[in-house]
Structure 1
Amino acid sequence: MKNIINTVNAPAAIGPYSQANMANGILYISGQIPVDPVTGKLVEGIEKETNQVMKNLEAILTEAGMTFKNVVKATIFLKNMDDFAVMNDIYASYLDAESYPARETVQVSCLPKNVDIEISMIAHQD
């Protein structure tokens, strides 16, 4: 059985999907884009965008009773791979070096609302 996870501290879904689903102790978080959940507006610039995405992911993890330490897998979509180093430094600042998740980062031609970054995660309850 799955349990749908939603929080007002992350942007509401903009389509037919949930922010996250919990099934058998595994949390599947939908891709998050840099929308400020308070204003509903996009933030701009790869630094601000990456920070907002990570805050959105953290809010969903918190709602599910987890932290970034529970994350076992991340998928990062970048519109421009030239943003990788900046994104990577910010991404790493949210994580515990002792428990980095598996990850891939891919460049894509377009993302929802024409943002520069989207990140999805899978986490596991301890």
Structure 2
Amino acid sequence: MRQLISSGSTFEEQIGYSRAVVSGDWVFVSGTTGFDYASMTISDSIVEQTDQCLKNIEAALHQAGSDLRDVVRVTYVLPDGSEFEQCWPVLRKYFGTVRPAAMMISAGLADPRMKIEIEVTALKHSGT
């Protein structure tokens, strides 16, 4: 069974993708940025963007019957890799006890306001 999850972001319809896809016991969350989808605004702070990314991911995971504790893999993409260390306290807050397999890539993002993009893979809660 395949379930598509949307955040309501206009980018999803314009580009043709889902915020997350549930396939069997797996949840695949697309690269997610620090946009506040309710207001379509984004902070200038990489720390605030990182926190908003994870809130957006958490919302998608909840819709899929999962949560951040179920994340097994995470990929971080930053245009400026030297800024990654600023994100660590926020990442510890969300993943400090989960400790998923992780990777950080330095690459350009679609919008110059974006300072970080995060994608995750998670398992669904057992029994959901």
**Matches of residues 4-15 of structure 1 in structure 2 within 5 Å?**
4-8=4-8, 11-12=9-10, 13=12, 14-15=14-15
Aligned pair count reads: 122
The answer for unaligned runs of 5 or more in structure 2 is none
| Structure 1 residue 24 corresponds to structure 2 residue 24 | yes
Give 1:96 shift: 4.4
Normalising by the residue count of structure 2, what TM-score does the alignment of the two structures yield?
A: 0.87
**Matches of residues 26-65 of structure 1 in structure 2 within 5 Å?**
26-65=26-65
Normalising by the residue count of structure 1, what TM-score does the alignment of the two structures yield?
A: 0.89
Moved over 4 A (4+): none
The answer for unaligned runs of 5 or more in structure 1 is none
* Mapped partners of 1:94, 1:68: distance in 2: 7
Query: Is the Cα contact below 8 Å between 1:7 and 1:63 reproduced in 2?
Result: no
* Mapped partners of 2:23, 2:59: distance in 1: 18
Q: What residue identity is the alignment partner of 1:49? A: Q
Identical aligned residues as a percent:
25
SS in 2 for 1:112: coil
Give 1:83 shift: 1.1
SS in 1 for 2:35: coil
